[in-house]
Amino acid sequence: MSASPGKVEIQGVTEIAGEKVFALRFIQGRNPDWVQRPFFARYDDQATWLHHLKPAFGDEKWFWEDEYEAIREDKLAAAAHAD
């Protein structure tokens, strides 16, 4: 699926440490270091998009979330200065 942080592949559903999860990975990301790195979302059969998913294993946010927010803020600041 295409999302603002990058293109994310849902590799499947699995169970890890007793938790049913989606196995995900970036196939393209705002930061190339994110590509091919697996990450996991809590299983949600009602989710239809990346922003509907929550990180698995009690994590508060995705491994890429802070960096992505900084990238967004930098782009917004650059666009504001371009005016």
What is the domain partition of the chain in residue ranges? Answer: 2-82
Residue of 18, 10, 4 whose CA lies nearest to 41: 10
How do residues 32-76 score in pLDDT, each as one tens digit?
Answer: 999 999 999 999 999 999 999 999 999 999 999 999 999 989 888
Tokens 């946010």 correspond to what residue? 61
Query: pLDDT grade, residue 83 (50/70/90)?
Result: low
CA distance 28 to 26: 5
CB 26 within 8 A of CB 37: yes
| pTM given for the model | 0.84
